[in-house]
Amino acid sequence: MEIILVGLLVALVSMVAAGVVARNKGRSACLWVVIAFLLGPIPLIVLLVLPANQEALESQAVQAGTMKHCPFCDEIIRAKAIRCSHCGASLEYKG
């Protein structure tokens, strides 16, 4: 009986941890929760080794409003930046 409870606890912790790590790495939290549900803690180890999906993270930051695209070089920069850190263009509005 206790072994079943321990197994359920491990599965639950693996699912939550996989979801959190996947989200923080720009990957599908739902997909990784399902994989962790099916395979236990092994997908969590795989997730920790996988590199972050930078494109998805940047897209999320742009949608959240903390980052924006430079209108001159299209690189991702901070939303409050007044000068692009990539191309050096001035983004300050003179009005």
Residues making contact with Zn ion (CB under 5 A): 70, 72-73, 84, 86-87, 89
Nearer to Zn ion among residue 54 and residue 90 (C-beta): 90
CB of 81 to Zn ion, least distance (A): 9
Nearer to Zn ion among residue 66 and residue 86 (C-beta): 86
Nearer to Zn ion among residue 55 and residue 75 (C-beta): 75
d(Cα 66, Cα 80) in Å, to the nearest integer? 8
